[in-house]
Amino acid sequence: MTFDEQDLRERLKAVAGHAGPPRFTVERLIGRIRRRRARIIGLVLGSVLAVAAIAVAVPISLSGQGTPPIARPAVVPFSPSFTVRVNGQSGMHPRGGRIPRFAVSPGEQLRISIGVTVPAHARVTALTPRVTALWLGVSGDVLGTPGDMRPILARTRKPLIPGLHTFRLRWTVPAGLPRGTTRYLVANWEAKQASVAQFIAELVRRR
Amino acid sequence: MASWQQTLAELARDQAGSLKRQAFLLCGDDGQAEDLVQDALVRAFARPLRAPRPGAAEAYVRVIMVNLFIDIARRRSRWRRVAPLLGGAEVAPDPADQVLTREVMLAALDDLSPRQRACVVLRYYQDLPVAQVAAALGVGEGTVKRYLSEAMTRLAARLSPAGNG
């Protein structure tokens, strides 16, 4: 017997038949895709803000020739930073993880303290970016609009000035939370012509 | 449900098994094949403005899967050169003929370069014409023919009765 293309086709077919059945679920894939989309959109908006900031900053700096130099705030894209404490604990950072993780139990009442720091260069002017609205809430696996939060724990439409803003929230972990399930604390903030959603903490059911 | 989610659900329902089998031929490992399929689906549908159309989704995902496999294999090649020095555990061959045949075939495929392997899977498992294989990999038809020729020579050496000794 010689080895030919037909032989190869049959062998490949036979080997492929040994692949196990797919183990993924569409729901989990959709969750992954939404998180990735949100990240991509965040990057694109960041780039747009950067370009817009440069477009504003360059003419301003050029038009300033001949006048005495004055201190102007740097116009750069910004992102508020978040610190989270649950029941007085600051949580643990898993290796390689960016957000803190908290172990929670079904039915547990959580006292959540979220510190939102708006950077100093996000000065409130007509042209520079600023946080104009903020939602804080809990989400299963979805990072989208405030409407995806279940529930929304806090919201404000008052512009946040640079500095630290602390939100004290309460949430009871659902009694029927299945083992191995994760919930996320989510922040959704709006700046000028931009809306950004991000996970800020992970709430994992205790084993 | 958004249209991309419906497309994804239909693709997963109708083609998940087929995608997994192709991934298994590329990776030779069930776990890696599972990861490859999921990563390809996530990449295919993650671009908000370039989500695949319903009719073209399967082919689009397959192309992403093959190119993802080549990228991963390229990154792992450095590790593969070092790994034997660390003395991995020997795996005893399964005496069952069927398993032995599969292991021999997978070992022969492992012997190919990632691009050669991708060409073989697309051409002889997916039955794609050379032109489509070339388009999927972003190379010329002549290059695909060369990869296939080299791959067939190597596979024949490993799989033909004379090659097996």
The CATH number linked to A199 is 2.60.40.3880
In chain A, how many domains are there?
Answer: 1
Distances (CA, A) of B121 to A24, A121, A141, B65, B141: 23, 54, 35, 12, 16
Rounded (5°) CA angle B3-B9-B14: 125
User: How much is the pLDDT for A20?
Assistant: 87
Q: Is residue A19 part of a domain?
A: no
Which residue, A152, A114, A156, is CA-closest to A132?
A156
pTM: 0.53
Rounded Cα gap, residues A137 and A155, in angstroms:
9
The tens digit of pLDDT for each residue in B126-156 reads: 999 999 999 989 999 999 999 999 999 999 8
Q: Is the pLDDT of residue B161 over 50?
A: yes
Q: List residues of chain A with CB under 8 Å from any CB of chain B.
A: 1-3, 5, 7-9, 11-24, 26, 29-30, 32-33, 36-37, 40-41
Calculate Rg over the CA atoms of chain A.
24
Contact B121 A12 (CB under 8 A): yes
Q: Which residues in chain A are closer than 8 Å to B152, comparing Cβ atoms?
A: 5, 8
Smallest Cα distance from A42 to chain B, Å: 12
As to burial, measured by CB atoms within 10 angstroms (0-12 exposed, 13-18 middle, 19+ buried), residue A89 is exposed
User: How do A101-104 and A194-205 pair as beta strands?
Assistant: parallel
B163 or A88, greater pLDDT: A88
User: Comparing C-alpha atoms, which of B5, B31, B37 is closest to residue B18?
Assistant: B37
Closest C-alpha to A135, from A157, A117, A113: A157
The answer as to whether A128 is a domain residue is: yes
Q: What is the fold of B94-165?
A: Arc Repressor Mutant, subunit A (1.10.10)
Distance of CA B125 to the CA centre of its chain: 10
Q: Taking phi first (over 0 means left), then psi (-120 to 50 degrees means alpha), and beta for anything else, what does residue B104 get? A: alpha
Q: What is the pLDDT of residues B17-68, one digit of tens each?
A: 999 999 999 988 888 999 999 999 998 988 777 778 777 888 889 999 999 9
Residue B104 to residues A60, B24, B80, B109, Cα–Cα distance (Å): 69, 15, 19, 9
Contact B144/B133 with Cβ under 8 angstroms?
Answer: yes
Could you tell me the residue range of the domain that residue A43 belongs to?
26-205
Two tokens, residue B84: 């034997």
First-to-last C-alpha distance (Å) of chain B = 58
Residues of B in Cβ contact (< 8 Å) with A21: 17, 20
Predicted ipTM of the assembly: 0.79
- Rounded to whole angstroms, the Cα distance separating A89 from A82 reads 15
DSSP one-letter string for chain B: --HHHHHHHHHHHHHHHHHHHHHHHHHSSHHHHHHHHHHHHHHHHH-TT-PPPGGGHHHHHHHHHHHHHHHHHHHHHHHHHHGGGG-PPPPPPPSSHHHHHHHHHHHHHHTS-HHHHHHHIIIIIS---HHHHHHHHTS-HHHHHHHHHHHHHHHHHHHSHHHH-
**Residue carrying structure tokens 């990154």:** B75
The whole-angstrom distance between residue B155's C-alpha and the CA centroid of its chain comes to 16
Q: For residues A129 and A103, what is the distance between their CA atoms, to the nearest angstrom?
A: 36
Domain spans in chain B, listed from the N-terminal domain onward: 1-86, 94-165
Per-residue pLDDT tens for B84-93?
A: 555 444 444 4
What pLDDT is recorded for position A2? 55
**Mean pLDDT for all residues in chain B:** 82
Nearest to B17 among A9, A15, A21 (CB): A21
Write out chain A's pLDDT in tens, 207 residues.
Answer: 457 888 889 889 998 988 888 888 888 888 888 888 888 888 888 888 888 888 887 776 666 554 444 444 434 456 788 899 999 888 777 766 678 888 898 899 999 999 988 877 655 444 455 678 889 999 887 777 888 888 889 988 888 888 888 999 999 998 888 887 788 899 988 876 677 888 889 888 887
